[in-house]
Structure 1
Amino acid sequence: MFNSKKTDPFFVALHKIAENMREAIHYANDFKIETVADLKELSIKMKQYETDGDKLIHELIVMLNKSFMTPIEREDILSLANKMDDVLDGAEHCIAHFEMFSLFEVDKSMRTFMEFISKSADEIVAATEHLNKKDLPSMRKHIILIKDYERECDEVSRSSIKQLFLNEKDPIRLIKFRDIYDQLEEVADSCQDVANTLETIIMRNA
């Protein structure tokens, strides 16, 4: 169905959106938070990634509006872009709450969440690389891994919240940590939404 020798601008645009999202996730994961000033720096940078992502989405929408033909359904192109943007938006929102709470204590559960989310971001980019090459079947292995990582995040969420309620005596800290855990779980869920959209693309274009 595809001409594999010619790069499609829509797939290139989707890949750029994925790469910007991954870069933001890895930046947050690698950033060392030690002071309130660090939180501010991280929050500002994540907001810039989000702004860059919004610009890429806008450029894609302009392309869609101008194009008579698209390589796959317009709805699938836009859905995939928006789902990837949800991952970035969720990560930026989570970091904003770190700053809002002045929370520079990153515990083991948060680090584990971010490791799995970072791995999911890598798989999303790898999948869009196959999409860019018009090799849809090769996306499946990356979809499977993203869903595996989301299940791992489910386990982290359950265990971390259980331990939080068992061990944390300060109600304010309990509220802060519970909020962060929930937001990180939502980011992982957004990664799975990307995987589901990729599955739909494969199904419709097999």
Structure 2
Amino acid sequence: MRFSKGKKDKFSELLLNITSNLQETTKFCVEQDISNHHELQIFLENVKEYESAGDEFISSITKELNQTFITPIDREDILQLALHIDDVLDGIEHVAALLEMYSVTSLTEQMKKFLSINYQCATEIFEAVALLSVKKLQSIPAHSLKLKEHETNSDNLLRTAVKNLFATEKDPIKIIQYKEIYESLEGIVDSCRKVAITLDSIVMKNA
């Protein structure tokens, strides 16, 4: 099915809302300077609010899909794209919960780098969905490529972070906790790569 010309459809608006919420979430995470458990709890509460907003957008898209006979692209593609974007947000909420559960009140440099990559990925996703909303499909693959590059960089960062963790940390409990956090942060970028693959599929089907 091809896009029709004209103003943005309701599904484009909803997808833009989801991606905008994701971008705001990752920007919030990058900007936070956590130094005590109270700030950590506030951080988690704010991330949960972003995640709840994302769930509401998913609910709205699902409802609209059930009520709409003709969609601008295949309904399965709209839902898959929305769900993969939501998976990214769920991953961020999971990491925030781990930080609070393990009382990590001082982020390592590797954690900060992961958060920065998450923000860069969210920006690429937002820009790609913005292009999708105005039917500029030919410009989307460049953003998909950047997402895949970020995923490769996050793989390298995970290996470096874990290697450094085992080399410098003596507390076995902390090693287990931090390794889980690093792997979960890398998992967020893996979810972003799934968004890229879905975008590539949409472009191929509708070119």
Q: Map residues 1-206 of structure 1 onto 2, 5 A cutoff.
A: 1-206=2-207
3-state SS of paired residue (2:46):
helix
| TM-score normalised according to structure 1 size | 0.98
**In 1, Cα distance between equivalents of 2:118 and 2:151:** 8
**In 2, Cα distance between equivalents of 1:195 and 1:98:** 27
How far off its partner does 1:2 sit?
A: 2.8
**CA contact 2:137–2:203 (8 Å) conserved in 1:** yes
How far off its partner does 1:5 sit?
A: 2.2
One-letter amino acid matched to 2:34: I
**In 2, Cα distance between equivalents of 1:161 and 1:146:** 22
How far off its partner does 1:180 sit?
A: 0.7
In structure 2, the gaps of 5 or more residues are: none
**In 2, Cα distance between equivalents of 1:84 and 1:111:** 21
One-letter amino acid matched to 1:51: S
How far off its partner does 1:68 sit?
A: 0.5
How far off its partner does 1:190 sit?
A: 0.5
How far off its partner does 1:187 sit?
A: 0.3
**CA contact 2:3–2:206 (8 Å) conserved in 1:** no
Report the aligned-residue RMSD.
Answer: 0.9
How far off its partner does 1:113 sit?
A: 0.9
3-state SS of paired residue (1:32):
coil
How far off its partner does 1:25 sit?
A: 1.1
**In 1, Cα distance between equivalents of 2:206 and 2:50:** 31
**What percent identity do the matched residue pairs reach?**
39
Aligned residue pairs total: 206
In structure 1, the gaps of 5 or more residues are: none
Moved over 4 A (4+): none
